[in-house]
Amino acid sequence: MAATEIVAVLDAGPLIHLDELGRLNLLNDFKELLVPQTVLDEALKHRPKLPLAELSNLEIISEPPPLSANLLKLADELALHAGERAALAVLDARGGQFLLSDDAAARTVARVVGFQTHGTIGLVLRASRRGKISKVEMLQLLRELPMRTTLHLRKELLDSILATAAENI
Amino acid sequence: MGLWQNQIMKTVTIQYPDQLDEQLRKLVSAGWFKTPEEGVVEALRRYLSGHSVELQEKQILEDVEWGLHGRD
């Protein structure tokens, strides 16, 4: 499957959760995958053996630019962490399209200023849609989220997602 | 407690790292909060305002839609 033209910036959540699933490589078909060093440091605290070599499109941004005044105000209001702020700053400065995050507040800020945001669950479903993994594997990964990852999900919500996914792909 | 002065208040005892305490006390010294407790309540309010269960689940469902039917 060819890479998309999308430039995406990673927050720690999908990096950690996809590695917990052993499927970090679902991120390797974005044109550019940018991760601020602050975010990477946070992810490495949880997953010291992150197989970053699987991501040939990964670029580590050691010194993110400062946030614009507009983003800074929103980030302050929703008390975003340093990594989330850095990811938004990189997204803004590099003309990216996607913030990949599982954090509701970071996603809210990104959307307010016009970026698309997607998280671990969307990335697993996308991988099936794009033919990177089979439908069977996609359903298995979703089913195993509560056992294998630290992503919190209400059981009823997960059941509903599984039913929708089974019907639609 | 300013904004919250007419509310029924709960009391909790928490432990937090010295590093956070140092940052919090700097904000108090600079006049952002009258007390460290006021700073903790403000941090909690800001966090909770951006992390409601309803908001998180709405975002996840939108993400499911993109995952299934997006074009990228």
Q: Is A99 in contact with A88 (CB distance < 8 Å)? A: yes
The reply to whether A119 touches chain B by the CB within 8 Å rule is yes
Q: Residue A167 has what pLDDT?
A: 92
Q: Is A135 in contact with A169 (CB distance < 8 Å)? A: yes
Residue A79: pLDDT band by 50, 70, 90 thresholds?
Answer: confident
Nearest to A115 by CA among A9, A37, A3, A5: A9
> Residue B17 phi/psi, 5° resolution?
-65, 150
3-state secondary structure chain B: CHHHCCCCCCCCCCCCCHHHHHHHHHHHHCCCCCCHHHHHHHHHHHHHHCCCHHHHHHHHHHHHHHHHHCCC
Q: Residue A4 has what pLDDT?
A: 80
Q: Residue B49 has what pLDDT?
A: 81
Q: Residue B51 has what pLDDT?
A: 80
Mean pLDDT along residues A57-64: 96
Interface touch B70/A77, C-beta < 8 Å: no
Mean pLDDT along residues B38-47: 89
Q: Residue B2 has what pLDDT?
A: 62
Q: Which residue has the higher pLDDT, B46 or B26?
A: B26
Domain with CATH 3.40.50.1010 in chain A: 7-120
Interface touch B50/A119, C-beta < 8 Å: no
Mean pLDDT along residues A96-119: 95
Q: Residue A161 has what pLDDT?
A: 97
Residue of B nearest to A124 (CA): B67
Q: Is A30 in contact with A6 (CB distance < 8 Å)? A: yes
A7-120, CATH topology level: Rossmann fold (3.40.50)
**Average pLDDT over all residues of chain A:** 95
Q: Which of A129-133, A143-147, B4-8, B25-29 has the lowest mean pLDDT?
A: B4-8
pLDDT over 70, % of chain A: 98
A144 Cβ contact list (under 8 Å, min separation 6):
A21
Residue A2: pLDDT band by 50, 70, 90 thresholds?
Answer: low
Q: In what order do the strands lie in the sheet with A116-118?
A: A58-61, A32-36, A7-10, A98-100, A116-118
- Residue A9 scores a pLDDT above 70: yes
Q: CA torsion angle for B7, B13, B17, B20 (degrees, to 10)?
A: 10
- Residue B1 scores a pLDDT above 60: no
Joined together, the tokens standing for residue A18 give 């996809």
ipTM score here? 0.92
Q: Residue A90 has what pLDDT?
A: 97
| Alpha-helix residue ranges (DSSP H) falling in chain A | 12-20, 37-46, 69-77, 82-93, 104-112, 120-129, 135-148, 155-168
Residue B5: pLDDT band by 50, 70, 90 thresholds?
Answer: confident
- Which burial class, exposed, middle or buried, applies to B72 when counting CB atoms under 10 A from its CB (0-12, 13-18, 19+)? middle
Residue type, A169: I
Q: Is A122 in contact with A153 (CB distance < 8 Å)? A: no
- Residue A83 scores a pLDDT above 70: yes
Chain B residues near residue A125 by CB distance under 8 angstroms? 63-64, 66-68
In Å, what is the CA distance from A118 to each residue of A8, A33, A100, B65? 10, 13, 5, 11
Q: At what angle do helices A155-168 and B53-69 cross, to 10 degrees?
A: 10
Closest CA–CA distance from residue B49 to any residue of chain A (Å): 7
Mean pLDDT along residues B28-54: 90
